[in-house]
Amino acid sequence: MSKAEILAELPRLAPEDRAEIQAKLEELAGDGWLDANDPLTDEQKALLEARLEDLEEHPEQSIPWSKAKTQLKTRFGV
């Protein structure tokens, strides 16, 4: 399958399938977002990695951003 055929097929896929493909592409891209020029400390990067791993291992425990945002607004009145 050519790149053009793949790109043409993407819009026809179910959202779940596109999310799976996106996750795979991000995995293949590696950890490039954690580079030396990043303003995050090593400790902050490790914390982010640990939380991402936890999310991948326990996706059922996560909530959508819209719900989290509502909860934060309710809790902190922002």
- pLDDT on residue 35: 59
Q: Is there a contact between 21 and 13 (Cβ–Cβ < 8 Å)?
A: yes
Rounded to whole angstroms, what are the CA distances from 62 to 20, 26, 54, 66, 73? Answer: 17, 20, 10, 12, 18
Cα-trace Rg, the chain:
17
Query: Residue ranges of the domains in the chain?
Result: 1-45
pLDDT in tens, the chain (78 residues): 899 999 999 999 999 999 899 888 887 877 655 555 667 888 998 999 999 999 999 988 889 999 999 999 999 986
Whole-model pTM: value is 0.41
CB atoms within 10 A of CB 70: 12
Q: Is there a contact between 71 and 62 (Cβ–Cβ < 8 Å)?
A: no
- pLDDT on residue 23: 84
- pLDDT on residue 27: 78
